[in-house]
């Protein structure tokens, strides 16, 4: 690996604070410090000098908190034009800066792997969710030790590290109580973990893990006489922060706080859902128009942005029978309350940091979504596993048992595993096309993000519009700390980053973007960005259409129709230039194949192997 250019850059950015006093090293872990004592035959003939561990970090290195909310789209949060109240995201945005062209992958495990490693998701084995991994290198479900996580590196430099909530980066066959534990959070550099390993969990009866042991959850949380998962992981994070202050007050911390919210099932105490009664009565089409108007009015999106139309395969609100609309409205009210509730408990963690007097020197990344809003609830359901497994049902099959359980008011409680209609997910994607699982469109991948660091970043309401990705978080942190990206960790040679630092944007909203290329692919819904251009192919399936997609076994990526957008002028991918710019389209298609080969993203559609298209017995 070539010597890093990070240190001179950070010297300019932060006055050389970390560059001048930190100790950067390319081979980790650091070698043991030899004793300064000399042993003689007897104690009297020996000299004693206590060994002193050298400072690995500059004095004043910040604490780091990454908050990652699950399955929320760019048009949901009130901070950025949506109708779900998010006062704590507001707080971080007001205290710092926000990004309106920041991206994830279109699926949870892949995004988390890219976020923690600074590499593209398939290059770290996460082209598909960990539960549906296969034997292709890019889809193994295993983050290789050649792509060490940020937690591992920060731990070696002297940080205390912890993770709370959803993990979803361990292969399904390895999450038993007997391990192996190499690919659990504690095997990836987190000294402490409390949460769940799977992709989703009941908010009332989750299967919880502490470090490498399955544990019984508490019976209450958040000071209430009931239990809720978001409250529990906030409680535990606060407890960890207090212990960290008591036992290691001079050490900085890195915390990764990732609630299960707002992934299905959508579950929250009734009073939170009731806050939104009547607010969505007009349906998803009208919601989308309102959110779009607010986004433009607040300057979150350009004034010339176009609101993209509803897909032909998705139901209009007016087509929903009147007797079903109360059910559909309540599902959205529950989702909204669930989402605000998650933001509230993220705020409790932030408040504890402030109470300890550490907020001024805490770098917070608040990422609003690991992918777009989820349309996997299909037509609205009281049992989201039915929908996620493509089992076709009629709304009457949900309304009848719901009535037996107590009616609409039980939605969001422990008796149902409800999830909203895909139309609400599409509304949450405003102004873009697409939802979760669609990498071809920004509704699946564009995530608002706020960053605050009061000691070093001045508040600025102007959005940062440079094109960036979750794989840029790790390089950003390393640049800030003056850390050399290691070339070897625990004897394993390291792969280079795919991400770049975003630190150049901290003080200049109009700085020229430095990320030239980024590829996207989830189950063959794919795209590639380069210097303002974005080419994409929808792939063989629409996530809001239940059942096995017609013709999927005959599908080939070689016959997909591609689209082309110049997103520097077409913010929402509203104007397809494929017909008028055929030469450019072919250039971008070729670039996508080059990036796929480089990033272990072959075969195209490899993530479909164990889900829809193929099964091992077919091989």
**Boundary of a domain, candidates 505, 535, 564:** 505
pLDDT at 597: 98
Q: Tally Cβ neighbours within 10 Å of residue 230.
A: 25
Can you give the pLDDT at residue 55? Answer: 85
In the Cβ-directed half-sphere of 279, how many Cα atoms lie within 13 Å?
Answer: 20
Contact yes or no for 143/113 (Cβ under 8 A): yes
Q: Choose among 67, 55, 70, 71: nearest CA to 20.
A: 55
List, in sequence order, every beta strand (DSSP E) within 138-246: 160-166, 192-196, 208-210, 213-215
Distance CA 439, CA 106 (A): 5
| Residue 392 confidence (pLDDT) | 82
The string of pLDDT tens digits covering residues 481-494 is 999 999 999 999 99
Q: Report the distance separating Cα 156 and Cα 137, nearest Å.
A: 28
Q: Note whether 485 and 478 are within 8 A (CB).
A: yes
The SS3 call for residue 92 is helix
Residue spans of beta strands (DSSP E) within 463-523: 468-469, 488-489, 492-493, 517-522
Both 475 and 523 in one domain: the answer is: no
Give the C-alpha separation, 349 to 101, whole Å.
26
Length of the chain: 619
Collect all residues with Cβ–Cβ distance below 8 Å to 135 and sequence separation of at least 6.
Answer: none
Q: Encode 95-146 in three state secondary structure.
A: HCEEECCEECCCCHHHHHHHHHHCCCCHHHCCCCCHHHCCCCHHHCCCCCCC
Q: How far is CA 558 from CA 140, 405, 576, 615, in A?
A: 24, 49, 20, 21
Residues 11/19, Cβ–Cβ less than 8 Å: yes
Q: What are phi and psi of 95, to 5 degrees?
A: -80, -15
pLDDT at 548: 78
Answer yes or no: do 524 and 604 share one domain: yes
Q: Does residue 232 sit within a domain?
A: yes
Separation CA 551–CA 613 (nearest Å):
10
DSSP state of 284: H
Give yes or no for a contact between 194 and 288, defined as CB atoms under 8 angstroms apart: no
Res 122: pLDDT: 99
The DSSP letter of residue 583 is: H
Q: What is the CATH number of the domain that holds 341?
A: 3.40.720.10
Burial class of residue 203 in the structure, from the number of CB atoms within 10 Å of its CB (0-12 exposed, 13-18 middle, 19+ buried):
buried
545 contacts 438 by C-beta, under 8 angstroms = no
Per-residue pLDDT at 12:
38
Peptide bond between residue 473 and the one before it cis (omega within 30 degrees of 0): no
Task: Write out residues in the chain with pLDDT < 70, as ranges.
Answer: 1-23, 611-619
> Which domain-ending residue is among 480, 505, 530?
505
Integer Cα distance of 522 and 127 in angstroms = 7
Is 501 in the same domain as 527?
A: no
What pLDDT shows up at residue 11? Answer: 38
How far is Cα of residue 277 from the mean position of the Cα atoms in its chain?
29
Name the strands in the sheet holding 562-566, side by side, starting at the edge strand that comes first in the sequence.
517-522, 525-530, 533-537, 562-566
Looking at 477, 505, 533, the residue that finishes a domain is 505
Cα–Cα distance for residue pair 502/153, rounded to 1 Å? 19
**Are 455 and 572 contained in the same domain?**
no
490 lies in the same domain as 552: no
Q: Any idea what DSSP says for residue 85?
A: -
How many CB atoms are located within 10 Å of the residue 214 CB?
13
Is 498 in the same domain as 530?
A: no
Structure token pair of residue 461: 């309401």
593, with CB counted inside 10 A (0-12, 13-18, 19+), is middle
* Packing angle of the helix pair 229-247, 325-355 (nearest 10 deg): 10
Do residue 462 and residue 578 come from a single domain?
Answer: no
Query: 496 with 545, same domain?
Result: no
Same domain? 489 vs 588: no
| Domain, as residue range, for 459 | 63-265+276-318+330-372+430-505
Q: What is the pLDDT of residue 33?
A: 92
Q: What is the pLDDT of residue 552?
A: 84
Flag whether 537 is in a domain: yes
Cβ neighbours of residue 134 closer than 8 Å, sequence gap 6 or more:
128, 140, 606, 607, 609, 610, 616
Report the CATH number at residue 543: 3.30.1120.10
pLDDT at site 613: 58
> Looking at the structure, do residues 556 and 440 belong to the same domain, yes or no?
no
Whether 190 maps to a domain, the answer reads yes
Structural domain total, the chain? 2
- In sequence order, which ranges of 415-524 are alpha helices (DSSP H)? 422-428, 473-481
In the three-class reduction of DSSP (H, G, I as helix; E, B as strand; rest coil), residue 489 is classed as strand
Scan for tokens 């939605």, then name that residue. Answer: 411
The counts of H helices and E strands in the chain are 14, 20
361 and 248, same domain (yes or no): yes
């Amino acid at each position: 690996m070539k010597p890093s250019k990070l240190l001179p850059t950070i010297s300019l950015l932060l006055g050389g604070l970390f560059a001048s006093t930190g100790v950067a090293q390319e081979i980790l872990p650091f070698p043991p410090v030899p004793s300064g004592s000399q042993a003689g035959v007897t104690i009297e003939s020996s000299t004693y000098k206590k060994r002193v561990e050298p400072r690995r970090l500059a004095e004043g290195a910040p604490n780091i908190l990454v908050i990652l909310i699950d399955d929320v789209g760019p048009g949901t949060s009130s901070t950025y034009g949506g109708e779900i109240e998010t006062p704590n995201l507001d707080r971080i945005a007001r205290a710092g800066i926000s990004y309106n062209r920041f991206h994830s992958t279109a699926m949870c495990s892949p995004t988390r792997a890219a976020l923690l490693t600074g590499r593209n998701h398939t290059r770290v084995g996460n082209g598909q969710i960990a539960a549906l991994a296969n034997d292709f290198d890019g889809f193994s479900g295993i983050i290789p030790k050649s792509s060490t996580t940020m937690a591992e590196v920060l731990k070696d430099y002297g940080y205390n590290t912890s993770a709370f909530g959803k993990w979803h980066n361990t292969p399904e066959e390895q999450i038993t109580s007997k391990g192996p534990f190499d690919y659990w959070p504690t095997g990836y550099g987190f000294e402490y973990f409390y949460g769940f390993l799977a992709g989703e969990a009941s908010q009332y009866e989750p299967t919880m893990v502490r470090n490498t042991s399955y544990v019984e959850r508490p019976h209450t949380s958040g000071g209430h006489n009931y239990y809720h998962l978001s409250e529990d992981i906030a409680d535990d994070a606060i407890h960890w922060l207090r212990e960290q202050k008591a036992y290691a007050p001079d050490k900085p911390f890195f915390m990764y706080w990732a609630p299960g919210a707002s992934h299905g099932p959508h579950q929250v105490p009734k009073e939170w859902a009731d806050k939104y009664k009547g607010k969505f009565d007009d349906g998803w089409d009208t919601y989308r128009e309102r959110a779009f108007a607010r986004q433009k009015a607040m300057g979150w999106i350009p004034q010339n942005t176009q609101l993209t139309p509803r897909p032909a395969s998705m139901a209009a609100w007016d087509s929903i029978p009147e007797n079903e609309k109360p059910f559909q409205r309540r599902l959205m009210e529950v989702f909204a309350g669930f989402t605000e509730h998650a933001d509230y408990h993220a705020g409790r963690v932030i408040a504890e940091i402030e109470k300890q007097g550490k907020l001024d020197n805490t770098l917070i990344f608040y990422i609003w979504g690991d992918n777009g809003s989820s349309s996997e609830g299909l037509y609205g359901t009281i049992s989201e596993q039915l929908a996620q497994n493509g089992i076709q049902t009629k709304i009457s099959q949900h309304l009848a048992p719901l009535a037996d359980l107590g009616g609409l008011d039980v939605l969001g409680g422990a008796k149902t595993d409800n999830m909203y209609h895909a139309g609400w997910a599409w509304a949450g994607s405003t102004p873009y096309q697409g939802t979760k699982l669609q990498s071809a469109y920004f509704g699946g991948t564009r995530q608002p993000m706020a960053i605050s660091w009061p000691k070093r970043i001045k508040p600025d309401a102007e959005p940062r519009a440079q094109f960036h990705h979750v794989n840029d978080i790790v390089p950003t942190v390393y640049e800030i700390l003056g850390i050399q990206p290691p070339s070897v960790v625990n004897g394993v040679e390291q792969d280079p980053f795919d991400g770049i630092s975003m630190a150049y944007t901290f003080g200049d909203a109009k700085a020229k973007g430095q990320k030239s290329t980024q590829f996207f692919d989830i189950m063959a819904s794919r795209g590639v960005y380069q210097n303002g251009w974005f080419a994409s192919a929808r792939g063989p399936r629409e996530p809001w259409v239940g059942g096995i997609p017609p013709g999927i076994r005959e599908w080939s990526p070689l016959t997909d129709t591609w689209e082309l957008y110049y997103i520097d002028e077409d913010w929402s991918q509203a104007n397809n230039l494929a017909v008028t710019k055929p030469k450019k389209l072919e250039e971008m298609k070729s670039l996508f194949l080059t990036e796929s080969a480089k990033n272990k993203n072959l075969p195209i559609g490899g993530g479909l192997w164990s889900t829809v298209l193929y099964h091992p017995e077919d091989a």
